[in-house]
Amino acid sequence: MYKKFMSIDSTGSEVENIVKSNDDGSQVWFPNVESNDGPDYQEYLKWVAQGNVAEEYSPN
């Protein structure tokens, strides 16, 4: 359901991102950072708290 991948921000730092694939074919993308207070990230944290681990996502 959730996968993770790295991106590089404007400062050159690496940031981990999460992608969630929905049943309707849409995908939700969000940074895996503590400052993320959005409901998508909060749902991801609940999923992780249940013992789940995101697989690696390879964009290319």
Partner 1 sequence: MAINFPTSLDNFSNPISGDRLDNPSHSTQHSDANDALEALETKIGISASPAGSATAGYAFVHSSNGTTGWSQVGYQGITSGTANLGETLMANGSGSSVWATAGAAFKNLVINGDMQINQRGTSVASLTTSDYRTADRWYFTIGNMGTWTMSQENDAPTGSGFRKSAKVLVTTADASPAASDQVRFDTYLEGQNLQQILKGTSSAKELTLTFWVKSNVTGTYIARLVDYDNTRGVSKTYTISASATWEKKTITFPADTTGAFDNDNAASLGLSFGLGFGSNFTSGVLQTTWGAYTDATSAAGQTNVASAISNFWQITGIQLEVGSAATGFEFLPAQTELAQCQRYYYRVGFPDTSAQYGILAMGGYTDSTTNSNQVFQFPTTMRSAPSSLTTSGTIRILQWGGPFTPSAYSLNTVATTAQNAFVNMTSSGMTGNSFTWSSRNNDVNAFIAFSSEL
Interface contacts to partner 1, rule CB under 8 A: 5, 7-11, 13, 15, 17, 19, 23-31, 33, 36-41, 43, 57, 59-60
Would you say 36 or 48 has its CB closer to partner 1?
36
CB of 54 to partner 1, least distance (A): 14
CB of 55 to partner 1, least distance (A): 14
CA–CA separation, 60 vs 43, rounded Å?
27
Give per-residue burial for 12-33: e unless 16+ CB within 10 Å, then b.
eeeeebbbbeeeeeeeeeeebe
